[in-house]
Chain A
Amino acid sequence: MSDDSALHLAVNGMSYSVTAEPETPLLYVLRNDLKLKGARFGCGLGLCGACMVVIDGKAVPSCDISVAAAVGKQITTIEGLGSGEKLHRLQSAFIAEQAAQCGYCVSGVIMSAYALLERNPSPRDDEILVALDGNLCRCGTHARILRAVKRAAAELPQ
């Protein structure tokens, strides 16, 4: 791969160096090079939100942005929010509300909600709905997910 050179990425507060062609969708680098499987392939066109990550504070479908375009930016994935030992309040709220069925959409949904709460700690219901409209869910878990996001918002430290 003659046109490759190492690309430097900042993901979840860590620095990574990866070798991939610059136009590679960020999603495949996250999943296959960095082994961060939480962002998931759903459509490849940024229509479903299963691959959502947060880049410089904004929710972005990682299937629809090249790895080169993510260089020099702060990338947060679901793995950067919390782990089994210390969960983010959004993750705790999803457990409290049992807001998943198959769960394939859920990491993307949480990332959209995370970007919202970071910029707007006390969103109105309609603001939550707008923030999640880039995420599709086929199991019909919408009502539970909304409850979970509202619960997390209510628990935000003021």
Chain B
Amino acid sequence: MIASRKLPRSLETNPLLGHWLRVNREGTVTVYTGKVEIGQGILTAVVQVAADELDVAIERIRLEPADTRYSPNEGLTSGSRSVEEGVMTVAYAAAEAREILLERGARALGVSLEQLTVSDGVITARSGGSISYWDLADDNLLKRNASGQVPLKPESERRYVGVSLPRRDILRKITGAPAYVQDLDFPGMVYGRVVRPPTYSARLTALHDGEVRALPGVIAVVRDGSFVGVVAEREEQAIRAARRLARLAQWHDVPSLPADMTPAAYLQAQPARSEVISEKSIAAAVPRTELAATYTRPFIAHASMAPSCAVAHLHDGKYQVWSHTQGIYLLRHELARALGVEESTVTVVHAEGAGCFGHNGADDAALDAALLARAVPEKPVHVQWMREDEFAWEPYGPAMVVHTRAALDESGNIVDWHFDVWSYPHVARPGDRDGVNLVAAWHLEQPFAPATPSDPPLPPGGSHRNAIPLYDFPNQRVTNHLVRKSPLRVSALRALGAHANVFAIESFMDELATAAGADPVEFRLRHLRDERARAVIEQVAQACGWEADKRSDGTRGRGIGFARYKNVGCYVAVVVEVEMETVVRVTRAWAAVDVGLAVNPDGVINQIEGGIIQSASMTTREQVAFDRERVTTRNWDDYPILKFSEAPTVQVVLLNRPDQPPVGVGEGATGPTAAAIANAVYAALGARVRDMPLTRERVIAALT
């Protein structure tokens, strides 16, 4: 595959090969990966590289779910890093395992390594003898650290990598077989529900729960400070009891949320820590035209299709928790702290959930289940949040404000660029330093404080992700203004700051192109030297039949957006066509994408299609609403997302670069799509909308 001998990070931190692979005597290979399936198809890619590097048929590969009892600790499945880290680690580990098997085979057959070939796990010597991996395997086979000395296969010898193999998980999902944590069903399992406070700040003052304890099926009512839950024999009994408890509970509260929902109003009213993250002053410039603009994004929900869920079992004094967390070890650490037990007494097993698009309520539900399981030892407790809980309590993608200012010279080239980002930090996951980032922990009699949210440093960055343009401007200054305390709970949402930053950069590029009298595609290319970046822009323009100077018919328009995700990841250029109906309707989209080596090309295309449609939804429809007391977004009618009749068709051009290392793709389309929509609205109507979501009201306001 790639000739580089620098091992992937996960293999550096977990070098023992036996942590990653096991060759079984019955003719199979078990792969242990710390990365988890969140709908992105990662496990299919893991199996593809393992089969290729080991030289075995793909049907022989088994995958074990991530489990703190044996899985390698790969931190989080997030940030579109699973291909670079998880998949490539398995590739290198498999290549080393093959080498070890060949060495054993050579000894067993009494020939030199050069005499051997391998096909589907059978090692054959040119002189005739053969022996299989399955005969050579024993418990000591992979009790060795990775050497970093075994290269991956060249492209010509790959059989599975680079091929659009079908998803491993699809058959179960289309036949209704149990597939998710929600579907776990153990003998003796009981059902729990949690009654959350009505607001972030409310505290329970009284709970007269006698009548609830008498309801049919109720096993336990659990109260610990302001944490309230119930366990019942049947799920509908738990739901009914929880609703009754919610009516009986008395809370003390003071309004704590901002009076104005406009991001600029509350975000820029607070003190910020400002940091210049890029500064260039290369050429003296003669500015002729100056432009400035401000772009905003509201709080946006992950809005997973499945409310968060977990199953917990306190058995012989030890907890076992099944969760759709993105980080089993981080969650175990956090659960142990919140429960006041040793980490060694908690096991976390990953079980798939619905697509999460970042940090949603998954980890919180795990603590809920554990707290309820503590009240009913020896009974597995299944807890699924109600939809209203998910909307009210999940951590949202933070609101952001971006102020831009730039100057054009007399030739219409950008000679000065200023970009200022105001944002809350984008990450507050379990396991982050101080505090405990699990909702129930904040409500206990002995409460834990939430940890201070943080921003990963550049690259990849958090609020400043993609704040530095990839364009070559002679003078630029990019400043990140981080506002520590968000009024609403926040954490990682797909693409983090790149959604708003790319929306701002690429909208402003179009505004500058208009001021320069230039075509948006040509204008981008003239400021861009990176060949791979230029290629995706040129390819998308070709795919959609981009016509410079095309005039709008008054209702329809096309716009383009581009970014290299995190400035080090995949290159994505998107063109959309919009029509003005009662809402901004994205009818068609085209994308050109460069991910380096595409392990599973159709998997890449699927991620880009989904990223575009989801971003179209976020950019034109979505915002979390709140009043002085509480988040008022509670169910889908408060938070409409794109429907089937509103979704665009998408055409994806995948640039094939098997010589380049593979990078993740899941978050690459989010920002470019947002900007492409705003630019298409402008092309259609001459209305420049700089605030997300791009609602009909905002379009009309921008027209006048």
Query: B-contacting residues of A (Cβ < 8 Å)?
Result: 1, 20-21, 24-25, 28, 31-32, 35-45, 47-48, 50, 77-79, 81-84, 87, 91, 94-95, 98, 100-107, 110, 126, 128-130, 132-133, 135-146
Contacts and interface: CB of A to CB of B under 8 A. Distances in A.
B637 A37 contact: no
The A interface is mostly helix, strand or loop, or mixed, namely loop
Interface in B207-226: 216-217
A140 B609 contact: yes
B357 A94 contact: no
Contacts of B636: 43, 45, 47-48, 136
Interface string B134-155: 0000000000000000000000
Contacts of A110: 174
Interface of B: 38-41, 164, 166-167, 169-171, 173-180, 182-183, 185, 191, 216-217, 234-236, 303-307, 352-355, 357, 384, 386-387, 602, 606-607, 609-614, 617, 635-637, 641-645, 647-650
A28 B236 contact: yes
Given A101-B39, A142-B642, A40 B355 contact: no
Nearest to A47: B636
B417 to A, nearest CB: 32
A36 B183 CA distance: 9
Which 7 pairs, one residue from A and one from B, show the smallest C-beta to C-beta distance? A38-B176, A102-B39, A140-B613, A103-B173, A140-B610, A78-B176, A102-B355
A22 B242 CA distance: 19
A129 B647 CA distance: 10
Contacts of A132: 643-645
Most buried by B among A28, A36, A145: A28
A45 B387 contact: yes
Nearest to B355: A102
A140 B646 CA distance: 11
Contact of B305 (A28, A32, A37, A138): A138
Given A1-B217, A32-B185, A103-B179, A84 B174 contact: no
B624 to A, nearest CB: 15
Contacts of A36: 176
Contacts, number: 187
Contacts of A137: 305, 644
B98 to A, nearest CB: 29
Contacts of B617: 140
Contact of B174 (A41, A43, A94): A94
B647 A95 contact: no
Contacts of B234: 20, 24, 28, 32
Contact of A102 (B305, B637, B642): B305
Contacts of B169: 103
Nearest to B191: A32
B175 A143 contact: no
A79 B39 CA distance: 21
A40 B612 CA distance: 26
Given A50-B305, A142-B642, A142-B644, 14 more contacts: A40-B180, A79-B176, A101-B610, A104-B305, A104-B354, A107-B173, A132-B644, A132-B645, A133-B644, A138-B303, A140-B611, A142-B647, A143-B649, A144-B606
A92 B107 CA distance: 48
Contacts of A81: 175
A145 B236 CA distance: 32
Contact of B175 (A39, A83, A128): A83
A102 B354 CA distance: 5
Nearest to B616: A140
A139 B39 contact: yes
Contacts of B167: 98, 100
A138 B177 CA distance: 21
18 contacts: A32-B191, A37-B183, A81-B175, A83-B175, A102-B38, A102-B39, A106-B174, A107-B174, A107-B176, A129-B645, A137-B644, A138-B357, A139-B305, A140-B647, A142-B644, A143-B609, A143-B648, A144-B606
